[in-house]
Amino acid sequence: MLRPHGDQPLEWADAGSGPLGPIFAEIDKVIVGQRKLIERMLMALLTEGHVLLEGVPGLAKTLAVRTLAQTVEASFGRVQFTPDLLPSDLIGTNVFDQRTGEFRPHRGPIFAHIVLADEINRAPAKVQSALLEAMQERRVTLAGTTHPLPEPFIVLATQNPIEQEGTYPLPEAQVDRFMFKTIVSYPTMAEEKAIVRRMIGHEEPAAEPVMTLAEIEQAKRDVIGVRIEDRVLDYMVRLVHATRIAGSSRDSGSRWVEYGASPRASIWMAKGARARAFLCGRDYVIPEDVKDVAPDILRHRVITTFEAQAEGVDSAAVVASVLNSVPVP
């Protein structure tokens, strides 16, 4: 049962006292900082979304995903994407069983509740397509037989910044299937000191299960029950519509935008805002919920022009401008 909560942005203390507080507390034993990353992962878990994580290596992205799986007793699959990876390495294949004389399916690592696709932008397009199709359909086909994926099923894909050598940007249509694109930043000096202190100890910290998948499924149903008033829903739609207006003319700053966000952005914004309200312990959405999730939902759905790229204006700057220009109800 959700409890009323004050109208304030999500803080670590709020999350810790909310319905998934035990998960936050357990992850905090292993991960120092990276609060936004952990919030986004939990929001995706509650809404059946997927998350694209961008950041340089060594920022605990893999550890955070594995720790989340441990706290909810979920199966965990990890795939290291490389240029020679094949779709069968991801989804599996049929193998010949000499004992029975028949072929049987050998399931790949994608058959897990939480799947980490590490460095997705280093793999060939056909492997990326196989993963993204599974994300969309939530099932895969092996030798003509369709196999459903587990429930819940979420993919957390990491990618290095595209400026790094050997990386290839994902097509816009495929990136759009991710609920969030979250930028994982460097820790502060205080956080880095705490990381070093923790990792050079006698034992590396480990997380224990604190919730079951059945409890997560109940939480997902509770999220669906979170109320969104018309004025807040109007605010979401105005934000998404503002990105399209920017892309339909060449007045003022609109010359930076080639294409705005699709209705899929509005849908995920509503789901993300509901999940954020739930994490705060509220059964209703406030505009601050929308403002919090909007940047990570819109940044990969707003396509900038070549002119913008030449002048160093990225989609994050465009989204920030939209958030500043649309009145908050």
77 three-class SS: strand
Query: What are the structural domain ranges in the chain?
Result: 21-210, 226-329
Amino acid letter, residue 270: A
Angstrom distance (rounded) from CA 321 to CA 301: 15
Q: CA–CA separation, 272 vs 276, rounded Å? A: 6
Rounded Cα distance, 175 and 169, in Å: 9
Q: Which residues pair with 116 in a beta bridge?
A: 78, 156
The CATH superfamily assigned to 226-329 is Magnesium chelatase subunit I, C-Terminal domain (1.10.8.80)
Q: DSSP of 89-138, one letter per residue?
A: HHHEEEEEETTTTEEEEEE-TTSSSEEEEETGGGS-HHHHHHHHHHHHHS
Could you read off the pLDDT tens digit of each residue along the chain, which spans 329 residues? Answer: 333 333 344 444 455 557 888 888 888 888 888 888 889 999 999 999 999 998 887 788 888 888 999 998 889 999 888 888 888 888 887 776 777 777 777 788 889 999 999 888 888 778 888 888 888 888 887 777 788 898 889 999 988 775 555 666 777 777 888 999 998 888 889 888 888 888 787 677 778 888 889 999 999 999 999 999 999 999 999 999 988 875 444 444 457 777 888 899 999 999 999 999 999 999 999 999 999 999 999 998 888 777 777 777 788 888 888 888 898 88
Closest CA to 225 of 278, 264, 188, 294: 278
Class (C level, CATH) for 21-210: alpha beta
Q: What is the pLDDT of residue 17?
A: 58
Q: Please report the pLDDT score of residue 16 as a whole number.
A: 52
Pairing relationship of beta strands 114-118 and 154-159 according to DSSP bridges: parallel
Q: What is the DSSP letter of 186?
A: P
Q: In 281-319, which positions are buried (b, 16+ CB within 10 angstroms) versus exposed (e)?
A: bbbbbbbbbbbbbbbbbbbbbbbbbeebeeeebebbbbb
Rounded to whole angstroms, how far apart are CA atoms 134 and 140? 6
List the structure tokens of 145.
């037989």
Region label for 317, one of left (φ > 0), alpha (ψ between -120 and 50) or beta (otherwise)? alpha
- Report the candidate in 262, 235, 237, 234 with the shortest Cα–Cα distance to residue 247: 262
Helices within 249-284 (DSSP H only):
263-279
pLDDT of residue 84: 85
CA distance 128 to 120: 7
Angle at 5 between CA 288 and CA 33, to 5 degrees: 65
Under 8 Å between Cβ of 67 and 163: no
Q: Which of 204, 171, 207, 322 is nearest to 256 (CA)?
A: 322
**What pLDDT sits at residue 296?**
94
Residues 6+ apart with CB under 8 A from 286: 7, 232, 277
| pLDDT on residue 1 | 33
β-partners of residue 97 are 102
How far is 55 from 93, CA to CA, in rounded Å? Answer: 32
